[in-house]
Copies of this chain bind each other. A is one copy, B any other.
Amino acid sequence: METRRINPEEAAARLLEADNILILTHKNPDGDAIGSGIAIALALQQKGKHCRVCWTGELAGFYSLITECYQPDEIGEPDFVLAVDLANPRLLPEDTIGYSDRVDMVIDHHATSVEFARETLLESAASCCAEIIFKVINAMGCSVTTDIANCIYVGLSTDTGCFRYSNTTADNHLLAAQLVSLGVNIAKFNELIFGQKSRARIEIERRALSGMEFTSSGKICIITITRSMLEETNCIESDIEGIATIPKAIEGVEAGITLREQENGNWKISLRTASLDAAEICSLFGGGGHIRAAGCECSGTPFEIKVAMVAAINKRLGLS
């Protein structure tokens, strides 16, 4: 389907013509997906529209802070289907994937968007979808309540790592200033989003740290996650998100290696580097990636794999 690119004002006008609006987002929704979906639903409800936001799976506990303020409407067959923070209809969860070819509008910030909807509001320079949603809400002439501000803040804060990541812009801070003025309890949100760890996460971290190995005068740090560790701790995928960043974040470490045992008995390797070319090193083992973050999959024992990786890294560090 040919999509038509639209701006926030056009998106606002189109949404105001609809009555029963189904709002979709990607599976395993994050703060930006949920925050964007509920923010636009709350705004549309102000205008007398009926809205239902769909998401699948259990959300981390902190999302209740924003989901609680939203009452879904019974909408029956929707007359308008909106997708937010969705770059590709294949990322829809199973129970809404049937809507793939009848999405009326997508609002998104991913440069990788495949533009599958009838109309597309795409701002790929935006750090989060929520900041585009904020423009649409203003263009609809809605009042930005504290509940809406909370939703926008969660999207903004999640996708910028609480203003830490390199995608954070001056505009993001200007938006945050507005949201704080609207009464967002930023300390509470950020404590819940960034301060808390699941019990399974802390259990896997304690096992990973316990087996942490240093070599090459502390320049290489290795952690190993076995399948039995994951089973013991009941970890789900989201519990081990970002675990590969732990070894690299230690002062003095040039190369952080994380080994993760796969179901087929192979080991998935993540390499994070301070100054070395991680992609080049992983390419020696049939993998690839980015210059400071790359990966590969290896067979063999963890010991054999570590010896081979350390030798390659030592050579590039001038240590052999």
A251 to B61 Cα, complex, angstroms: 8
Q: A241-273: which have CB < 8 Å to B?
A: 245, 249-252
Candidates B168, B196, B202; contact of A209 at CB < 8 Å:
B202
Q: Given A173-B176, A249-B195, answer yes or no on A212-B218 (Cβ-Cβ < 8 Å).
A: no
Q: Given A169-B180, A170-B178, A177-B170, answer yes or no on A202-B250 (Cβ-Cβ < 8 Å).
A: yes
Q: A184-238: which have CB < 8 Å to B?
A: 186-187, 190-191, 194-199, 202, 205-206, 209-210, 212, 214, 218
Candidates B170, B180, B197, B202; contact of A168 at CB < 8 Å:
B180
Candidates B166, B174, B194, B206; contact of A210 at CB < 8 Å:
B206
Candidates B164, B210, B249; contact of A196 at CB < 8 Å:
B249
What residue in chain B is nearest A186 (Cβ atoms)? B168
Contacts of A206 in B (CB 8 A): 206, 209-210, 212
Asked if A54 is at the interface of the complex by the 8 Å CB criterion, the answer is no
**In the bound complex, do residue A251 and residue B199 qualify as a contact, i.e. CB atoms below 8 Å apart?**
yes
Contacts of A195 in B (CB 8 A): 164, 245, 249
A13 to B261 Cα, complex, angstroms: 65
**In the bound complex, do residue A164 and residue B202 qualify as a contact, i.e. CB atoms below 8 Å apart?**
no
Candidates B164, B172, B173, B218; contact of A191 at CB < 8 Å:
B164
**In the bound complex, do residue A190 and residue B164 qualify as a contact, i.e. CB atoms below 8 Å apart?**
yes
Asked if A301 is at the interface of the complex by the 8 Å CB criterion, the answer is no
Asked if A165 is at the interface of the complex by the 8 Å CB criterion, the answer is yes
Contacts of A166 in B (CB 8 A): 186-187
**In the bound complex, do residue A180 and residue B187 qualify as a contact, i.e. CB atoms below 8 Å apart?**
no
What residue in chain B is nearest A61 (Cβ atoms)? B251
Q: Kindly provide the distance from the CB of A200 to the nearest chain B CB, expressed in whole angstroms.
A: 9
**In the bound complex, do residue A162 and residue B162 qualify as a contact, i.e. CB atoms below 8 Å apart?**
yes
Q: A139-190: which have CB < 8 Å to B?
A: 162-166, 168-174, 176-178, 180-181, 186-187, 190
Contacts of A61 in B (CB 8 A): 251
**In the bound complex, do residue B169 and residue A251 qualify as a contact, i.e. CB atoms below 8 Å apart?**
no
Candidates B177, B180, B218; contact of A199 at CB < 8 Å:
B218
Q: A272-298: which have CB < 8 Å to B?
A: none
Sort A-B residue pairs by CB-CB distance and give the 4 closest, nearest first.
A166-B187, A173-B177, A206-B209, A164-B190
Given contacts A206-B206, A206-B212, 10 further A-B contacts (CB under 8 A): A163-B176, A164-B194, A164-B195, A170-B176, A173-B174, A174-B177, A177-B177, A195-B245, A202-B212, A206-B210
